[in-house]
Amino acid sequence: MNPIHYLLPLFLCLLVIPCHANPTAEPPLPAYSKAYDSARDPIADGIEALKLARDTNRLVLIEVGGDWCRWCLVLDHFLKKYSALNQQLHNTFVLLKVNVENSNSHPKFFKPFPPAKGYPHMYITDNKGSILHSQDTAQFLHKGKYSVKQFAAFLEHWSKYNAQRP
């Protein structure tokens, strides 16, 4: 029998089997988790983030800063470089990036929060919106660079905290 007769059924089978991405892959991140965006409304995004946090049993990490902030960009690069840390962050938290700048500091949104000590600054809330923690990201620095060890310890602490919640 001609070898093409063996390959033809295999080729036809490949055409009819749908090609899907990994079915266990994480869903794409919401727009408010991807970038600082001055056009976004942090109150509306916060409501969506809280709903997603409740639906997925996570906490909310509010990262405050902007593209004007050198250390905000360094943190983004750090998390892209260390994908395991980035994955742990998204497994524990719904990330809500809030852009702040002189012309738009969102006073209504930030009214219940303690003042930021610098940028980027992080706030952690439970999935009902109660403020749990205010985090100065300078505490993740070691010798002028973000420390994998210190950031991992932060994530581990909050991952354990979240796992122990009712």
49-81 pLDDT, tens per residue? 999 999 999 999 999 999 999 999 999 999 999
User: Domain tally for the chain?
Assistant: 1
Within-domain flag for 149: yes
Overall average pLDDT of the 108-131 stretch: 96
Within-domain flag for 118: yes
In 61-124, which ranges are continuous DSSP H helix? 70-81, 83-92, 107-110
Phi, psi of 38 (to 5 degrees): -65, -20
Give bridge partners of residue 90 from the DSSP assignment. Answer: none
Domain span at residue 106 reads: 29-164
Overall average pLDDT of the 123-147 stretch: 96
Whether residue 134 has pLDDT greater than 90: yes
Helix axes 70-81, 83-92, angle to 10 degrees: 100
For residue 150, the domain's CATH number is 3.40.30.10
Task: Give percent above pLDDT 70 in the chain.
Answer: 84
* Per-residue confidence band for 102, with pLDDT thresholds at 50, 70 and 90: confident
pTM of the model: 0.83
Overall average pLDDT of the 42-51 stretch: 98
Within-domain flag for 108: yes
* Per-residue confidence band for 2, with pLDDT thresholds at 50, 70 and 90: low
pLDDT at position 166: 76
Within-domain flag for 143: yes
pLDDT at position 104: 80
Within-domain flag for 85: yes
Lowest mean pLDDT among 2-11, 37-46, 58-67, 154-163: 2-11
